Chains A and B, each alone.
Chain A
Amino acid sequence: METNGSRREFLKRTGLASGGLIVGLNFLESCVGEIVQNNTFPNLEPLQVLENGFDSIGAIEITDFLQIRPDGHIFLNLTKYEMGQGVSTGLSSILAEELEADWEKIHVRYIKSSVSESDTTGGSTSTLLHWDLLRRAGAFTKLLLIDAAAKQWTVYKDQCYAENGYVHQHGSNLKLGYGELVGSIVVPKDYRTLFAEVPLKYKSNFKLIGKNLKSKIIPDIVTGKHPFSIDVRLPKMKYAAVLRCPVFKGQLINFDSTEALNISGVEQIVPIKLDTSDNIRDGIAVIANSTWAAFQGKLALKAKWDLGVNAGVEHGKFVADCYKKLTIDEGTETLSIGKFDESEADEFISHSYEFPYQHHACMEPLNATSHFKGDSCEMWVGTQSADKIITNIEKHLGIPKERIKINCHPSGGGFGLRYSSEYALESMVVSKAAGGELVKMCYSREDDIKFDHLNPFELNKHRIGLKNGKPLSWELKSVMANWGGVLGWMYYNIPKLSASQIMVEGFTQVGAWRSVMANAEGFSTECFIDEVAHELNRDPLEFRLSLLPRNAMVDFKHSYKCNISRLRGALELVAKRGHWGKTMSKSSGQGIAVYPYMHGNGYGATVAEVAIVNDMIKVTKVTTAIDCGLVVNPDQVKQQAEGGVVWALSAIFYGGTEYIDGVVERSNFHDNKVLRIDETPEIEVHICQNDEPQPWGVGEVAGPPTYAAVCNAIYAATGKRVRKLPIARTYSQL
Chain B
Amino acid sequence: MAIIQLTINNEKYEGEFDTNMPLLWALRDAIGLTGTKFGCGIAQCGACTVLLDGKAIRSCGITVQSSIGKDIQTIEGVEDSMYRSLQQAWIEEQVPQCGYCQSGQIMSAIGLIKSNPNPTEKQILDAMSGNICRCGTYPRILKAIKSFIKSNP
Contacts and interface: CB of A to CB of B under 8 A. Distances in A.
Interface of A is mostly: loop
Interface stretch (A57-65, A141-149, A408-416): A408-416
B47 interface: yes
Interface in B66-100: 74-76, 78-79, 87, 90-91, 94-100
B47 A363 contact: yes
Contacts of A644: 136
Nearest to A221: B99
A363 B100 contact: yes
A291 to B, nearest CB: 6
B66 to A, nearest CB: 15
Nearest to A85: B97
B100 A290 contact: no
Contacts of B25: 290-292
Contact of A222 (B21, B32, B97, B106): B106
A265 B18 contact: yes
Given A86-B97, A218-B96, A362-B134, A223 B42 contact: no
A230 B47 CA distance: 13
Contacts of B32: 233
B54 interface: no
B24 to A, nearest CB: 8
Interface in A333-380: 361-365
Interface string A281-298: 000000000111101000
B99 A218 contact: yes
A84 B39 contact: no
Contact of A364 (B96, B100, B128): B100
A677 B125 contact: yes
B139 interface: yes
Contact of B44 (A295, A647, A669): A669
A264 interface: yes
B128 A411 contact: no
B129 A264 contact: no
Chain A interface size band reads 35 or more
Contact of A445 (B30, B40, B94, B139): B40
A417 B125 CA distance: 29
A193 B129 CA distance: 57
Contacts of B47: 363
Contacts of A231: 28, 34
Interface stretch (A37-45, A67-75, A564-572, A635-643): A635-643
Given A442-B38, A678-B126, A219 B136 contact: no
Interface string B16-29: 00100110010011
Contacts of A86: 97
Given A412-B37, A442-B38, A364 B132 contact: no
A445 B47 CA distance: 12
B42 A84 contact: no
Interface string A441-470: 010110000000000000000000000000
A6 interface: no
Contact of A635 (B1, B87, B94, B102): B94
Contact of A224 (B29, B41, B75): B75
A363 B34 contact: no
B74 to A, nearest CB: 7
Interface in A620-652: 635, 639-640, 642-647, 650
A434 interface: no
B101 interface: yes
A160 B90 CA distance: 41
26 contacts: A83-B98, A215-B96, A222-B90, A222-B91, A222-B96, A223-B75, A223-B76, A223-B87, A225-B35, A228-B34, A230-B38, A264-B1, A264-B18, A293-B21, A361-B134, A414-B98, A442-B38, A444-B41, A639-B137, A643-B136, A646-B136, A668-B41, A678-B125, A678-B126, A678-B129, A680-B139
Closest 4 CB pairs of A and B: A224-B35, A412-B100, A84-B98, A646-B136
